[in-house]
Amino acid sequence: MALPQQKVVFDAAAYLAWEAEQTERNEYVAGEVFAMVGVRQAHNVASGNLYTLLRQALKGSPCRVFIESVKTRVEAADCFFYPDVVVSCDARDRATPDFLSHPVLVVEVLSDSTAAFDRGNKFAAYRKLVSLQEYVLVDVLARRVEVFRRNAEQHWVLYEFNEGETVEFASLDLRLPMALVLEDTEEESPAVGDASL
């Protein structure tokens, strides 16, 4: 989330009606709308890897996995976000085809333009979701996955996973090798003087 649209104040219902007519995705934060910007190839690949791995692992369960284009509503913070990957195991989310409100796990793949927001205000908003058990940040460049997990005392605890390790998603009783999560996300540095830049 990076580019504010012209200053138009919406309520949630007006945003949903307006967003349904847009060709590009826009997030909503307390009355303001922000255009979603494009991402690097590695960002898209990491999102796809996680979606594919989670979809396969959760097949046949009550949980559903969504990627990039499904909104998550945080009513307590008056927000709608488009997580990179989101998992809901709550039947109530099947009754709202335009968005989810009860995710158990949310994944954001970090980029230079969104990292501070994803770690700060966006995470603060997501923490208001009673259903959310894990908030996951994938840092492709650092080759790291950070899993913030809600414990029994309702505090958020950070679990960090690096290359060669296995990421644990306790909310889904699932473990995934980092090698698969980050598969094919390495970026080559352009040659000095490369005219294609």
- pTM tops 0.75: yes
Domains and CATH numbers, the chain: 38-181 (3.90.1570.10)
CA distance 36 to 110: 13
Distance between CA atoms of 89 and 194, rounded to whole angstroms?
Answer: 48
Average pLDDT, the chain: 91
- Per-residue pLDDT of 81-90, as tens digits, reads 999 999 999 9
Phi and psi, residue 60, nearest 5°: 85, -5
Is-contact 71 86, C-beta < 8 A?
A: no
Q: Output helix, strand, coil percentages for the chain, rounded to the nearest 5.
A: 25, 30, 40
What value does the mean pLDDT take over residues 21-29? 92
Q: Is the pLDDT of residue 10 over 60?
A: yes
Summarize pLDDT for 110-131 with one digit per residue, the tens: 988 889 999 999 999 999 999 9
